[in-house]
Amino acid sequence: MKVAVYYSNDDVRIEERPVPPINYGEILVKMMASGICGTDVMQWYRQKKAPRVLGHEMAGEIVETGKGVEKFKKGDRVFVSHHVPCYNCRYCAAGNYTACETLHTGNYEPGGFSEYIRIPAPNVKYGTFILPDNMTYEEAAMIEPLACVVLGQNRIGIKKDQTVLIIGSGMSGLMHIPMAKAKGAVVVATDINKYRLDKALEFGANYIFNANEYSSEKLKEINKGELAEYVIVCAGAKKAVDDAVSSVDRKGKILFFAVPEGDINIPSTRFWRNEITVTFSYGAAPDDLKTALDMIQNGMFDAKKMISHRIALSDIQKGFKLVSEAKDSLKVVIIPD
């Protein structure tokens, strides 16, 4: 079978590997759609473990089931999460599923950017979801990234009529916009790219700024002299961090949805005196995935609108180029040849 092996953002090679055999409790899925995530092109992060097959936003068709699998059958259309918690450790007992070691270390084999994927038993049990008839495979590839947004916004508790500054209007930032708007928030979005700023308006942002020209004073000008109660960082540039720190109001919250390569400098005295919260968000738990699936199915989130490119597996290098250049693209989805 064909697999796309990541060596660097500019070197993703199509190679041949045997179809992985499945064991008790496992299933084999034929990939029908697999999204390229922004983290897939974080070269400083990904290249440390290269070469490897990436892809964790995958939907497909079950082509084989192992002994002991009763919930699913051959031919089922499914979305599969690459990370699932164990539900047995102390983190899971406390409801902190994304802190579970199993969630951080488990995965499917070899990755979503391959023709066939072996789904381990824990992922079959906790992370495999039957797709509704009205949901396409490409829409289903949006479940995992949307679930991450669900978890992140639940962590900071956005309230009606408060201001949310979203720094970076790439795929992640754009997903945060309609969700924050649905909660009644005023949304301000920044980016350096005009295409993405235009998309931010299209997805519901109240105000936009070119990130190169943005300052906290400009935020105050359009926000009744106030800073933002919530800041969501969806870009890895140092200026994104600086803008977040300068733009958060007293008792406000900063969510690092994306992270910079280097360390983050926080003015501790100001943050202490103003009781500012800084938090991070990683991944999603099964409940978040269910919420995201329901949102797409019920039309609360327009996944189709987020997909800008569909690229065949054999041409995946083109997809990585689109995402890493961060110009005129939103979600790039890899499909079978």
- The pLDDT tens digits of the residues spanning 211-249 come to 999 999 999 999 999 999 999 999 989 999 999 999 999
Q: Do 88 and 128 share a domain, yes or no?
A: yes
Domain assignment present for residue 286? The answer is: no
Give the model's pLDDT for residue 214. 97
Q: Do 122 and 200 share a domain, yes or no?
A: no
CATH number for the domain that contains residue 191 = 3.40.50.720
Q: Do 203 and 137 share a domain, yes or no?
A: no
pLDDT band at 259 (very low <50, low <70, confident <90, very high): confident
Q: How far apart are CA 291 and CA 111, in angstroms?
A: 24
Positive or negative CA dihedral for 167, 192, 43, 106?
positive
Q: Do 64 and 138 share a domain, yes or no?
A: yes
Percentage of the chain surpassing pLDDT 90?
92
pLDDT band at 70 (very low <50, low <70, confident <90, very high): very high
Domain assignment present for residue 296? The answer is: no
Number of independent structural domains in the chain? 2
Domain assignment present for residue 32? The answer is: yes
Q: Do 185 and 165 share a domain, yes or no?
A: yes
Q: How far apart are CA 125 and CA 258, in angstroms?
A: 29
Q: Do 313 and 247 share a domain, yes or no?
A: no
Model pLDDT for residues 291-314, shown as the tens digit of each residue = 999 999 999 999 999 999 999 999
- Can the peptide bond before residue 336 be classed as cis, meaning omega within 30 degrees of 0? no
Percentage of the chain surpassing pLDDT 70?
100
CB 3 within 8 A of CB 53: yes
Q: Do 104 and 184 share a domain, yes or no?
A: no
Q: How far apart are CA 162 and CA 69, in angstroms?
A: 47
Between CA 150 and CA 157, with CA 151 as vertex, the angle to 5 degrees is: 85
For every residue of 235-257, DSSP letters joined together read: --SHHHHHHHHHHEEEEEEEEES
Q: Do 112 and 10 share a domain, yes or no?
A: yes
Here the contacts of 214-222 (C-beta below 8 Å, separation 24 or greater) are 214/190, 214/243, 215/243, 215/246, 216/243, 216/246, 216/247, 219/165, 219/188, 219/247, 222/188
Q: What is the mean pLDDT of the chain?
A: 95
> Is residue 200 helix, strand or coil?
helix
Full residue range of the structural domain in which residue 180 is found: 148-280
pLDDT band at 327 (very low <50, low <70, confident <90, very high): confident
261 pLDDT more than 80: no
Q: Do 257 and 192 share a domain, yes or no?
A: yes
Token pair listed for 308:
């800008």
pLDDT band at 253 (very low <50, low <70, confident <90, very high): very high
Min mean pLDDT across 225-239, 255-269, 308-322 is at 255-269
Q: Do 103 and 181 share a domain, yes or no?
A: no
Domain assignment present for residue 46? The answer is: yes
Domain assignment present for residue 308? The answer is: yes
Q: Do 116 and 160 share a domain, yes or no?
A: no
Domain assignment present for residue 290? The answer is: no
CB 92 within 8 A of CB 86: yes
Q: Do 160 and 133 share a domain, yes or no?
A: no
pLDDT band at 262 (very low <50, low <70, confident <90, very high): confident
Residue in 108, 38, 106, 39 with CA at minimum distance from that of residue 80: 108
Residue in 260, 251, 201 with CA at minimum distance from that of residue 226: 251
Q: How far apart are CA 93 and CA 302, in angstroms?
A: 34
CATH number for the domain that contains residue 42 = 3.90.180.10
> Is residue 228 helix, strand or coil?
strand
Please give the order of strands across the beta sheet that includes 186-191. 207-210, 186-191, 163-167, 228-233, 248-256, 277-280
Token pair listed for 104:
């951080």
Domain assignment present for residue 104? The answer is: yes
Give the model's pLDDT for residue 2. 97
Length of the chain: 337
Residue with tokens 């500019």: 10
Model pLDDT for residues 3-60, shown as the tens digit of each residue = 999 999 999 999 999 999 999 999 999 999 999 998 899 888 898 889 999 999 999 9
Model pLDDT for residues 182-210, shown as the tens digit of each residue = 999 999 999 999 999 999 999 999 999 99
Residue with tokens 């327009």: 302
Domain assignment present for residue 294? The answer is: no
